[in-house]
Structures are given as structure tokens and as C-alpha cells.
Amino acid sequence: MITGRTRVFALVGHPIRHSLSPAMHNELFRRLGIDAVYVPLDAPPERASSVGESIRALGLAGCNLTVPFKEAVLPSLDALSESAECAGAVNVVVAEGGRLIGHNTDGAGYLAALREELRVEVAGRRCAILGAGGTGRAIAAALAGAGVEEVCLFNRTRHRAEAAIARLAPRFPHVRFTAADLTAAAFASAPWSLVVNCLSGPGLPALEGFGVAHLPRGGSGAVWTDANYWLADPPLLAACAAHGVRIQRGIGMLMHQGARSFELFSGRSVSADTIRGVLDIGGW
């Protein structure tokens, strides 16, 4: 029963019809007896700069943010967690005492899923991240904090990757950061041991013509991961599997970052296994 006391949380992004987050959070609220509701709000990208003030005006208790709002909301926030500050992007906003606090759970969720599903440790790896948006930067920061050797950010507009590196490099002086154009030739220039595809929507066609033959194969070789859980046939996953490169889809990242988001919203801890059961996705 929704009443005037029910706390309202939201997912703000465009597009969001594919999102599993409303089902996940609402079922968790129900199971734990929390008087709250989570609603999807498909917001026009051209109004991105007004999202923060809209959160205040509507009295939302908190929200998740997806493309293209993870960066646009920053000027409207009162404070950032360390993870959000490092990434320069937020995917969780929580209202606390009249203040809006930005967090980022993408990087921690990604690492947790990688370790759980593939038993992969990232220390010493050479990492290629395809896409320098909010998700890519959050994952880059998490990988740097976990001790990788190199992070190369590939982006259609190289200056965006360079700007991200300017923010990250001083925080992680032990990591070699590089920027590259999002082209097949640039990607083939090194035998990456971890690849993270953070491209979505308009960026995905850029992967046409990319090859994976230069990636190390086998149990101790390269890993290709995709942050997009909703794609039925993510680019190059089949090619990687055929080449002997281990692969990972994005559903695990969704579960782990979702568990961290739910804890920020409710103060209650849930496990990725609980979320797996809520979404009935045991085989993923």
C-alpha cells in the first residue's frame, strides 16, 4: 500500500525500458517490509542539467542514474563519495537531511562480479576499456585501485578519454594510463589481458571490424567482459569464446552494483545471490 509516508526512489535515464532495476528494488522492498517504492523515469536527454533539481523538487529519497545523466547531475549535488569523486560520475544519489549525496557503485560491482564468476584477480593486468563515459571511468578507477599495470581508455572522441586520464592519473601514480582512438587498429596494438566493453547505444557500431586474434587465450589468458546486461548478442563475445578467451556478461555487475545501491537506499545489506533469486536469473 503506497501512502503519503512511502519513500519514493527512481531510476532516471534514457532509454530505460530494458532495465531490471525497478523489479529488483521493489521486490527487495516487499520482502524486507520497507515502506518504499522504486519507479522508472525516462527523462529526455536534453533536460539532463535539470535532473538534480528535479530530485529535490519531487522529494525523491534517492535514485539511480544511467546514460546520459551520470555526469550531468554533478553540479547539482552537495557532496560526492570517494568513488564518485574519483570517477567523475555518479550512478546513485541519496537524499540525506536536505542534501544530495552522489555515489558510484559501478566499479566495485564490476570487480565483485569478476572475482565471483571467473575467479579473476586483476593485479598486474593490462586493461583496455572501450568507452570513457561514466561507467568506463568508474571501472577504470576500480581497476587502478586493485593494482592493474595499465589502463587504456578507448573512445570515439579521444579528448574525452584524455580528460578522464587527467582526473585518474594523479590518484593512481603506480598505474600507466593511456588514451586511444576507438579503432580496430588501435585496439590491436597490444595483447590486452582484460577488456571491458562499456559502449552502449550509438557507440556499439564502432566495434565493427574489431578483431580478437591478438588477445592471449587459455585459462591464464585474456578476459573479455561486457557491462551491458541487456544485449542479447553483445559484440565480439562469440568471437572471443571461439578464440579461447574467457568471457563475462554484464548481469553479474548489475547484481553486485545493485546490492550496493540498495544498501545506500535502505541501510539494509543484501547479497548478490539474493538479487539473483529475486530476478530469477540463476543460470546467468
Q: Which residues are catalytic?
A: 70
Distance CA 156, CA 162 (A): 12
Angle at which helix 134-145 crosses helix 106-118, to 10 degrees, equals 60
Strands 126-130 and 194-197: parallel
Q: Cell digits for 106?
A: 559501478
Dihedral sign for Cα atoms in the order 264, 270, 272, 274: negative
Strand partners, 80: 102
Pairs from 42-50 (Cβ < 8 Å, separation ≥ 24): 42/13, 42/14, 42/15, 42/16, 42/17, 43/12, 43/13, 43/14, 43/69, 44/14, 45/14, 48/72, 48/73, 49/75
Dist CA 203 CA 226 (whole Å): 13
Could you say which DSSP state residue 232 is in? S
